């Protein structure tokens, strides 16, 4: 596909003279893939080429409207394409109201984020949501308005400007799969507008819904069973994968694609630098499948990426695809789109496996996940994390459990370890689990799941702290962009407050969505408190990480086989070794027995002191080591 003279002229008339040449150059690069993907999706529709040309014209107009500061950032990033892979990158994730009241409050916390070393801030949904239940903001009523209680669009622009000045990129959710039932498209559909009904999957009777249901999973089996909601005003049944008030968009309709793509670019022009593409696996439906990870869902994401590359090339896309390990790498693009889909994706299996390693005091599943994770295309990176606002979903580990030929009850036991009946140190709660093979998830803040609420002795306290630092230590060195979930850096516990009770009763995930704890924050520099000790240790890890280029996301990661299954030896690049003990007993690791490393003398990264070959690890302990001598060139 090459640009016709006519289209080139029409686009040129919409571009300012100073931006014309670079826009058209980027368009020429992206056009073949963009046109191929969109024509595969929509080419059969009458008027496809006219629709395509109109889309590009809108994109050109949005590029012309892009503020100069953001275009400068685009240009800067084009000379540093790997900026987000640096060992200097650290993410932080928070709800606006829980963290700081509103967007202006977030701006006031920038000094704190800088103290922590944050370079990327994911603010959970802050766009206008429906009144009443709204799934923590994931039911969006308007993509062009900020939720009024959190601020305004000009507050958002001011915040992104201040964050940029502080070297922090704002990540925002783009809820792609569904809109709220009071979004203008949904209201029009419910008012009988046939055109807008085609923005959704609506069915006059249960015939097709029942056929789909036969192979669909359920996201909220207990609180929102089924995937369809009866909405007579919309003509029968509406597809609602999540809550009944979240209507799935119909991406077979090109107007839906164009509407969401342009919404993304408008938000990018407000200064959003990273988009978390919420529920990305669900975008395409196909009878007889689980309607996740369909090839067309990837084509949609690839087409979005092309448009971003053309009009806002400094912006990144992050897939929120909480799916088993084998389904994850395609979100970075495959085949002719290798590396041309999302630059970032959550490594959810690794996150779940690190919790499993603690429960089992055995690192087997971590090994399985890493073994099942291929190297990524250049200029992409995992998001490594410990906790987030959702439950820890155990089902992503099913293929890894099957590959390891474990007994089928393994995931149930792991979930049970952290669930309501847990007899050990964890204070968590099962999420949406029903039936023997529905393990589903676990709710709870990391500190609570790791023992902070069941402390009886000083040793218990230190163990709970060590486990929290162990999981974050792993996320910080495993290879990716690490994300801290608000409050974990202060060892904040579960939210049992009366004020949040109703929300928790309706959706157990509110257990891990407490308001930012000002009291703990004030204690963060006090070494006589749990908060102070955890905060200091995390900051030390973060500071150390910044000095180690081998911890950049694009450096190789290798788990070395260790005889003792409670221990982990993780090699990064050629000169870094993290060792960790996932058991409650002190253990010794013989560094000389690790394969692939020539006789190497190791130094502790923090004290810089040489360490013994027979390396002692405390219960739940870890160490970061640096090689004094470079290993064999032949070692892999
Ligand atoms: C994502 C969000 C989750 C939300 C769901 C539906 O998975 O992380 O919180 O409930 O999407 O939007």
Residue-wise pLDDT tens digits, 229-251: 999 999 999 999 999 999 999 99
User: Pseudo-torsion of CA 33, 37, 38, 39, nearest 10°?
Assistant: 100
Determine the pLDDT at residue 436: 47
The DSSP symbol for 553 reads: T
The answer to which of 47-56, 434-443, 525-534 has the lowest mean pLDDT is 434-443
Cβ neighbours of residue 588 under 8 Å, at least 6 residues apart? Answer: 614, 615, 616, 617
**Which secondary-structure segment (H or E) carries 121?**
strand 120-123
- pTM exceeds 0.95 for this model: yes
Q: Select from 243, 228, 252, 236 the least CA-distant residue to 181.
A: 243
If phi over 0 gives left and psi between -120 and 50 gives alpha, with beta otherwise, what is residue 499? alpha
Q: Does residue 138 line the site of ligand 1, with CB under 6 A?
A: yes
Residue 272 has pLDDT above 90, yes or no: yes
Residue nearest to atom 12 of ligand 1 (CA): 138
The answer to which of 3-7, 101-105, 616-620 has the lowest mean pLDDT is 3-7
Residue nearest to atom 2 of ligand 1 (CA): 278
| Range 45-55 average pLDDT | 96
Residue 434 has pLDDT above 70, yes or no: no
| Range 38-42 average pLDDT | 98
Of 98, 242, 323, 396, best ligand 1 pocket probe by most atoms within 8 Å of the beta carbon: 242
Name the pLDDT band for 377 (thresholds 50, 70, 90): very high
**Is residue 93 within 8 Å of 483, Cβ to Cβ?**
yes
Residue nearest to atom 3 of ligand 1 (CA): 390
Ligand 1 atom at shortest distance from the alpha carbon of 136: 9
Q: Does residue 135 line the site of ligand 1, with CB under 6 A?
A: yes
Residue 278 Cα to ligand 1 midpoint, Å, equals 7
Of 243, 390, 443, best ligand 1 pocket probe by most atoms within 8 Å of the beta carbon: 390
Q: Does residue 175 line the site of ligand 1, with CB under 6 A?
A: yes
| Range 59-65 average pLDDT | 98
**Which secondary-structure segment (H or E) carries 105?**
helix 103-108
Ligand 1 atom at shortest distance from the alpha carbon of 175: 12
Calculate the average pLDDT of the chain: 95
Q: Does residue 249 line the site of ligand 1, with CB under 6 A?
A: no
Q: Does residue 442 line the site of ligand 1, with CB under 6 A?
A: no
Residue 81 Cα to ligand 1 midpoint, Å, equals 29
Residue 628 Cα to ligand 1 midpoint, Å, equals 46
Residue 188 Cα to ligand 1 midpoint, Å, equals 24
327: phi then psi, degrees, rounded to nearest 5: -85, -10
Residues pairing with 602 in the sheet = 627
Residue 587 Cα to ligand 1 midpoint, Å, equals 40
Name the pLDDT band for 608 (thresholds 50, 70, 90): very high
Q: Does residue 279 line the site of ligand 1, with CB under 6 A?
A: yes
Residue 599 has pLDDT above 90, yes or no: no
Ligand 1 atom at shortest distance from the alpha carbon of 241: 6
Residue nearest to atom 8 of ligand 1 (CA): 390
How many other C-beta atoms can be found within 10 angstroms of the C-beta atom of residue 573?
A: 18
**Is residue 200 within 8 Å of 249, Cβ to Cβ?**
yes
Name the pLDDT band for 420 (thresholds 50, 70, 90): confident
Q: Does residue 390 line the site of ligand 1, with CB under 6 A?
A: yes
Maximum alpha-carbon separation in the chain: 77
**Which secondary-structure segment (H or E) carries 571?**
strand 567-572
The DSSP symbol for 203 reads: E
Residue 102 has pLDDT above 50, yes or no: yes
**Is residue 326 within 8 Å of 338, Cβ to Cβ?**
no
**Is residue 55 within 8 Å of 314, Cβ to Cβ?**
no
Determine the pLDDT at residue 317: 98
Residues pairing with 239 in the sheet = 228
Residue 375 has pLDDT above 80, yes or no: yes
Residue 634 has pLDDT above 50, yes or no: no
In angstroms, rounded to a whole number, what is the distance separating the alpha carbons of residues 246 and 220?
12
In the block, residue with structure tokens 């704002």? 170
Q: Does residue 278 line the site of ligand 1, with CB under 6 A?
A: yes
| Range 194-212 average pLDDT | 97
Residue 493 Cα to ligand 1 midpoint, Å, equals 22
Distance, first Cα to last Cα, the chain: 42
């Amino acid at each position: 596909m090459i640009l016709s003279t006519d289209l080139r002229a029409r686009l040129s008339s919409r571009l300012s003279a100073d931006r014309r040449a670079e826009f058209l150059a980027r368009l020429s690069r992206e056009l073949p893939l963009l046109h191929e993907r969109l024509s595969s999706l929509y080419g059969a529709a009458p008027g496809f080429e006219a629709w395509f040309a109109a889309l590009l014209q809108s994109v050109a107009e949005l590029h012309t409207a892009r503020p100069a500061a953001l275009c400068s950032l685009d240009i800067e990033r084009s000379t540093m394409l790997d900026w987000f892979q640096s060992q200097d990158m650290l993410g932080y994730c928070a709800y606006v109201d829980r963290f700081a009241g509103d967007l202006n409050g977030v701006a006031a916390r920038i000094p704190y984020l800088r103290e922590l070393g944050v370079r990327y801030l994911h603010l959970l949904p802050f766009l206008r949501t429906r009144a009443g239940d709204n799934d923590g903001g994931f039911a969006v009523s308007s993509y062009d308005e900020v939720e009024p209680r959190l601020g305004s669009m000009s507050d958002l622009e001011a915040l992104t400007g201040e964050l940029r000045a502080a070297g922090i990129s704002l990540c925002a959710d783009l809820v792609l799969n569904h809109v709220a039932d009071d979004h203008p498209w949904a209201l029009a559909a419910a008012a009988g507008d046939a055109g807008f009904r085609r923005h959704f999957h609506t069915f006059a009777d249960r015939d097709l819904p029942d056929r789909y249901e036969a192979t669909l999973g359920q996201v909220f089996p207990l609180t929102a069973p089924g995937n369809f909601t009866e909405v007579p005003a919309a003509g029968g049944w509406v597809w609602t994968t999540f809550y009944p008030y979240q209507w799935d968009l119909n991406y077979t309709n090109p107007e839906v694609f164009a509407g969401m793509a342009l919404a993304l670019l408008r938000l990018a022009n407000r200064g959003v630098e990273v988009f978390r593409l919420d529920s990305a696996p669900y975008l395409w439906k196909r009878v007889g499948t689980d309607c996740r990870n369909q090839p067309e869902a990837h084509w949609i994401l690839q087409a979005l990426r092309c448009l971003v590359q053309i009009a806002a090339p400094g912006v990144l896309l992050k897939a929120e695809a909480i799916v088993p390990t084998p389904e994850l790498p395609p979100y970075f693009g495959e085949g002719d789109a290798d590396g041309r889909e999302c630059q970032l994706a959550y490594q959810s299996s690794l996150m779940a496996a690190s919790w499993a390693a603690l429960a089992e005091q055995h690192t087997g599943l971590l090994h399985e996940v890493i073994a099942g994770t291929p190297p990524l295309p250049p200029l992409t990176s995992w998001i490594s994390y410990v906790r987030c606002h959702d439950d820890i979903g155990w089902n992503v580990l099913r293929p890894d459990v099957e590959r390891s030929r474990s007994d089928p009850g393994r995931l149930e036991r792991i979930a049970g370890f952290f669930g309501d009946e847990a007899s050990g140190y964890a204070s968590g709660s099962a999420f949406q689990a029903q039936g023997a093979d529905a393990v589903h998830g676990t709710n709870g803040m990391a500190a609570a799941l790791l023992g902070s609420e069941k402390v009886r002795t000083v040793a218990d306290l230190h163990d709970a702290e060590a486990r929290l630092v162990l999981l974050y230590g792993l996320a910080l060195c495993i290879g990716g962009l690490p994300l801290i979930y608000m409050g974990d850096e202060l060892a904040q516990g579960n939210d049992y407050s009366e004020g949040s009770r109703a929300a928790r009763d309706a959706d157990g995930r509110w257990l891990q969505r407490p308001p930012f704890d000002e009291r703990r924050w004030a204690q963060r520099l006090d070494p006589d408190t749990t908060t102070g000790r955890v905060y200091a240790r995390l900051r030390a890890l973060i500071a150390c990480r910044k000095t180690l280029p081998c911890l950049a996301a694009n450096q190789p990661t290798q788990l070395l086989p260790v005889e003792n299954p409670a221990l982990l030896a993780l090699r990064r690049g050629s000169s870094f070794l993290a060792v960790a003990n996932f058991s409650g007993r002190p253990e010794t690791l013989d560094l000389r027995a690790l394969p692939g490393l020539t006789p190497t003398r190791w130094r502790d990264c923090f004290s810089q002191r040489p360490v013994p070959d027979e390396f002692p690890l405390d219960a739940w302990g870890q160490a970061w080591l640096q090689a004094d001598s470079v290993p064999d060139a032949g070692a892999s």
